[in-house]
Amino acid sequence: MKHTISVLVKNEAGILSSVCDLFSTRGYNIESLTVAATVDTTFSRITIVTTGDDVVIEQICKQLNRLINTIKVVELPKSADKCIDRELILCKVTAKDEARSEILRIAEIFGAKIIDVSPDTYTLEYSGDNRQVLAIITLLRPLGIKELVRSGLVAITRENQFVNLNK
Amino acid sequence: MSAESTVRIEKMTGARMFLECLRKEGVDKIFGYPGGVILHIYDELYNCDFIKHYLVRHEQAAVHAAEGYARITGKPGVVLVTSGPGACNTITGIANAYYDSYPLVVFTGQVDTRLIGNDAFQESDIVGITRTCCKHNYLVKSIADLPRVIKESFHIARTGKPGPVVVSLPKDILTSRMEFEYPEKLNLPGYNPTYEGHPIQCRKALKLLCEAQRPVIISGGGIIHSEAWMEIRELAKKLNIPVATTLMGIGTYPQDDKLSLGMLGMHGNYWANLAVSNCDVLFAVGTRFNDRITGCLKRFCKDAQVIHVDIDPCSISKNVHVDIPIVGDAKNVLNLMLHEYNTGKYSYDYNMRELWVKQIESWKLNKAIRAVENGIMSPQTVIEHIYNKTKNMDTIIATEVGQHQMWTAQLYKFNKPRQLITSGGLGTMGFGFPAAIGAQIASPEKLVFNIAGDGSIQMNIQELMTCVDYKIPVKIAVINNGYLGMVRQWQEKMFNKHYSQTPITSPDYVKLAEAYGILGLRITKDDEIDAALDKAIAYNGPVIMDFVVEPFEMVYPWVLAGKPLNEVLLSNLEKGE
């Protein structure tokens, strides 16, 4: 079962290693991980997608909380009416002859942007939830994906579900 | 601006500032070993009159000694070593303190900040290396951070679930200068240990304990950290509940008390293991349910309701499913429960409890039987003699790890906390002797014994010279059976008596003692034991006693690894696998 954990940490060197070490020493799996400073740049937000049963996820959250430099650990709700998640992908696709117009059609359907063009390729930029991202990749794959870069998931709760430093 | 505040405060070097910070934290003893990048601090120590430095012979021993000191005083032990090899040698000691939750602050030198990451001479990434074996660690990157980091380190080490904190001090930080100001307040928004147990949970726990027909208390090492031994005794007495202790909790409940079950676990008492296996409510305080006390997890307390008190939320429901979790400091939680009980709203069925206690009494007839009876001095006899000789003296017993450790835990009837110093979680051979040194330094008036195996003692035997230098009168009793006994015991039972690499030789300990200029004694017969102990105790200085004992003695009771706790072997005659 996939879980998304949002971790607010002090923006200090080494904290990312501590978080990753915690996963590796206990044999927990990281599916994706993103990190960047928050609005207050002395703090960073780490968004981790991981798998495990409820007992494992509870342990992960407790262990993350135990790190001295973590401020807050929240397991984000799974339902889309409580939480919004997005992933950014950059995808370089082989684009020759008829494929060029097919790629443009797919891009249009998904609302993806073409950010680079060459005689043989298109590079697309697209962001969406996990399902949408997988869908566009599935459609582009038969056309020949030369390179695919995914940002990993970021997520935010909907209004009134504050995931913030209580100050 | 007032006149005073415009007076220019003299700038101080990082090295000097380091000592001033220690002074602010009330540190007066440190254990260490000098080296290249840490020399500026050692230069400051040269004329320092408020800190006594103990020079060891190996950095690992410095950390163990600091832990021994922490175990007796309850205050963080402080270690100072150089970078690279000095820092790397501390790892085992740091991990040991982490597993047993004792407070340490370990300062390691580091190469110049400009050289970090360049594979400089004696550089090691100690922050990276220790990340998973310490409570927290720091690399000081600016002299402006130094006082704050040191203040935070001591705070983190001794609060919450105590543990070791590592601070890496680059050389240029120690030589640069700044005005010294020790921060008064801490700013650690991510570190807020829960001390108060939730009152509703505490009441629920108390109610369940009162309703229970066959309750058992497990008293763990957390009782020592939170200094809650009087509270656990009072609660046990008031509710008439038998108490088992973990290895780390030994001494939290007096073993001569009627309700005492002694130690439980792999080599715990038969009756303690049976009581825990047959209880209907288990009240566990300050233990993390290590596999050495649960045996087969699936069958551990499977019909019991479990109440678990721990200051570390991670320990709760990690190994054993808990019905009533209470996160908090044991002392506060127990006091809250006692206070609640004293309101008179709670009662329990006294007769039912007496039946349970009687049932346990009947199990107490099942004692371990010695494996070998051939007239050769047995290791258990030696430990029993040590107990009888020292029980009325103010004694601290340190052990190494192995058979002698388990026999000590079983046969020495500890009645007080902070009386047994032993490596529980990590199981570090070579821990006991340096830890005994630290304990003796912490309490010079006490009699300190290190009960050692012939394998373990050789792991840190170089510290004999430290004892000589500082006149530390630790009495070492080597239980010399010529084997790595605990491993041999497993080989005998489970590996067809293939004693692979377990026979181990020793130097002549009496001659060794002579070389160090201390007293050495060899004891080979039962009737020599008492006289030797008398001589050792009377001798004003360190002593090595070489007790040459029966090699094939086994530690019983024994619950084989992975077996349920109630499948206790009491002698060689029972079949294991």
pLDDT digits (tens, 9 = 90+) for B155-196: 999 999 999 999 999 999 999 999 999 999 999 999 999 999
B132 neighbourhood in chain A, CB within 8 Å:
21, 25
Subunit contact A66:B313, Cβ cutoff 8 A: yes
pLDDT score of B207 more than 90: yes
Which residues 47-106 of A have a C-beta within 8 angstroms of B? 55, 58-59, 62-63, 65-71
Question: Is A6 in the same domain as A71?
Answer: yes
- pLDDT at residue B571, rounded to an integer: 87
CATH class of domain segment(s) B199-363: alpha beta
- pLDDT at residue B533, rounded to an integer: 98
Instruction: Indicate if B535 belongs to the active site.
Output: no
pLDDT digits (tens, 9 = 90+) for B426-452: 999 999 999 999 999 999 999 999 999
Single out the catalytic residue among B17, B486, B545, B554: B486
| Percent helix, percent strand, percent coil in chain B, to nearest 5 | 40, 20, 40
Give the count of domains, chain A: 2
pLDDT digits (tens, 9 = 90+) for B363-414: 999 888 888 888 899 999 999 999 999 999 999 999 999 999 999 999 999 9
Kindly identify which residue of chain A lies nearest to residue B189, measuring between CA atoms.
Answer: A71
Subunit contact A65:B313, Cβ cutoff 8 A: yes
Question: Is A56 in the same domain as A103?
Answer: no
- pLDDT at residue B359, rounded to an integer: 95
- pLDDT at residue B8, rounded to an integer: 62
Distance from CA of B235 to the nearest CA of A (A): 30
- pLDDT at residue A163, rounded to an integer: 53
Q: Helices marked H in B251-329 — which ranges?
A: 270-278, 291-294
Question: Is A94 in the same domain as A127?
Answer: yes
Q: Look-up: residue for tokens 């500026």?
A: B40
Residue B571: how many CB atoms within 10 A of its CB? 14
State which H helix or E strand residue B153 sits in.
Answer: helix B146-158
Write down which residue in A75, A107, A134 finishes a domain: A75
- pLDDT at residue B577, rounded to an integer: 45
- pLDDT at residue B10, rounded to an integer: 78
ipTM: 0.84
Single out the catalytic residue among B122, B255, B359, B462: B122
Instruction: Indicate if B171 belongs to the active site.
Output: yes
Q: Measured in whole angstroms, how far is the alpha carbon of residue A75 from the centre of its chain?
A: 15
Q: Could you tell me if residue A120 is inside a domain?
A: yes
Give the CATH number of the domain where residue A144 resides. 3.30.70.1150
Instruction: Indicate if B230 belongs to the active site.
Output: no
Task: For residue A10, give the nearest of B128, B190, B314 by CB distance.
Answer: B190
Question: Is A10 in the same domain as A65?
Answer: yes
Please give the mean pLDDT across all residues of chain B.
95
pLDDT digits (tens, 9 = 90+) for A47-91: 999 998 888 899 999 999 999 999 999 999 988 888 999 999 999
Between the CA of residue B281 and those of B30, B122, B361, what are the distances in Å? 45, 55, 19
Q: Could you tell me if residue A68 is inside a domain?
A: yes
Which residues 6-35 of A have a C-beta within 8 angstroms of B? 9-10, 13-14, 17-18, 21, 25
**Nearest-angstrom CA–CA distance, B54 and B340:** 48
Instruction: Indicate if B122 belongs to the active site.
Output: yes
Instruction: Indicate if B486 belongs to the active site.
Output: yes
pLDDT score of B28 more than 90: yes
B188 neighbourhood in chain A, CB within 8 Å:
68
CB-based contact B433:B59 (threshold 8 Å): no
Nearest in space to A110 (alpha carbons), one of A83, A80, A140: A140
**Nearest-angstrom CA–CA distance, B410 and B264:** 10
Find the range with the poorest average confidence among A53-62, A124-133, B56-65, B517-526: A53-62
Straight-line distance from the first to the last Cα atom of chain B, in angstroms, rounded to the nearest whole number: 81
Q: Which residues contact A51 (CB under 8 A, 6 or more apart)?
A: A1, A2, A3, A29, A31
pLDDT score of B263 more than 90: yes
Q: Could you tell me if residue A167 is inside a domain?
A: no
Query: What is the Rg, in whole angstroms, of the alpha carbon atoms belonging to chain A?
Result: 19
Subunit contact A68:B132, Cβ cutoff 8 A: no
- pLDDT at residue A55, rounded to an integer: 87
Give the CATH number of the domain where residue A65 resides. 3.30.70.260
Q: Which domain holds residue A104?
A: 84-155
Give the pair of three-digit tokens for residue B426.
Answer: 């990590």
Return the C-alpha torsion angle B485, B486, B487, B488, nearest 10: 40
Q: Could you tell me if residue A116 is inside a domain?
A: yes
Task: For residue B314, give the nearest of A13, A25, A66 by CB distance.
Answer: A66
Task: For residue A69, give the nearest of B127, B190, B317 by CB distance.
Answer: B190
Q: Could you tell me if residue A7 is inside a domain?
A: yes
CB-based contact B93:B60 (threshold 8 Å): yes
- Strands of B20-65, DSSP E: 29-32, 52-55
Write down which residue in A22, A48, A75 finishes a domain: A75
- The SS3 of residue B100 is helix
- The SS3 of residue B92 is helix
- The SS3 of residue A103 is helix
A55 neighbourhood in chain B, CB within 8 Å:
317
CB-based contact A31:A49 (threshold 8 Å): yes
Write down which residue in A75, A101, A123 finishes a domain: A75
- pLDDT at residue A26, rounded to an integer: 84
pLDDT score of B197 more than 60: yes
| Percent helix, percent strand, percent coil in chain A, to nearest 5 | 30, 40, 25
- pLDDT at residue B6, rounded to an integer: 54
A165 neighbourhood in chain B, CB within 8 Å:
189
Question: Is A90 in the same domain as A57?
Answer: no
Q: Which residues contact B577 (CB under 8 A, 6 or more apart)?
A: B493, B494, B560
Question: Is A148 in the same domain as A91?
Answer: yes
**Nearest-angstrom CA–CA distance, B253 and B223:** 10
Question: Is A100 in the same domain as A61?
Answer: no
CATH class of domain segment(s) B10-179: alpha beta
A vs B, Cβ pairs < 8 A, gives: 36
Single out the catalytic residue among B151, B171, B331, B475: B171
Q: Would you say domain B379-548 falls under CATH 1.10.10.350?
A: no
Adjacent-strand bridge partners of A70? A9
pLDDT beneath 50, residues of chain A? 167
- pLDDT at residue A167, rounded to an integer: 44
Question: Is A20 in the same domain as A70?
Answer: yes
What are the domain boundaries of chain B? 10-179, 199-363, 379-548
pLDDT digits (tens, 9 = 90+) for B306-349: 999 999 999 998 999 999 999 999 999 999 999 999 999 999 99
* B548-552 average pLDDT score: 96
